[in-house]
Amino acid sequence: MKNVLFLVIALFGFSSYSCSGDEQGGGDRVAKDIKAEEMVKVLNKEGIIILDVRTPGETSRGMIPGAVEIDFRGANFEKEVEKLDKSKPVYIYCASGGRSKSAQEKMSSLGFKETYNLLGGFNNWSAQGLPTK
């Protein structure tokens, strides 16, 4: 009996652990946190979307090249995001990573297949001297 109880506890712990990482997905969905070094590698890649979810005041201070602007706090965020191709990988960033994580969760619930949240956001990106426009 003790062995069965141990096995049940071990399996429960393993299943909880496997869902707690930075990559989540239901079925064929991917929602992952990435570092700036990883995002640099995809900047010029075809078939991706780079999404800046900061306010217009924030984007006026610079953006990652090729990014589309849709303010997460704007009244039309969901409507504007729905216009994007849900089958393409979307790389999302904000100022420091909080809003982009919320945007990532929202977009996953809307059916986007692959979403990547930039850890540290634009603040970290620009602090590293990475390309901006």
Tens digit of each residue's pLDDT, the chain (133 residues): 444 433 333 333 433 333 333 444 456 789 999 999 999 999 999 999 999 999 999 999 999 999 999 999 999 999 999 999 999 999 999 999 999 999 999 999 999 999 999 999 999 999 999 999 9
Cα–Cα distance between 36 and 49 in angstroms, integer? 15
**Confidence at residue 8, expressed as pLDDT on a 0 to 100 scale:** 36
pTM: 0.80
Q: Side chain identity at 121, as an amino acid letter?
A: G
- List residues bridging with 47 in a β-sheet: none
Q: Is 94 a catalytic residue?
A: yes
- List residues bridging with 21 in a β-sheet: none
Decide if 130 contacts 117 (C-beta within 8 A).
no
> What domains appear along the chain, each with residue ranges and CATH number?
22-127 (3.40.250.10)
From the candidates 36, 39, 48, 94, give the one annotated as an active-site residue. 94
Q: How many helices (H) and strands (E) would you count in the chain? A: 6, 6
Phi, psi (deg, nearest 5) at residue 106: -65, -45
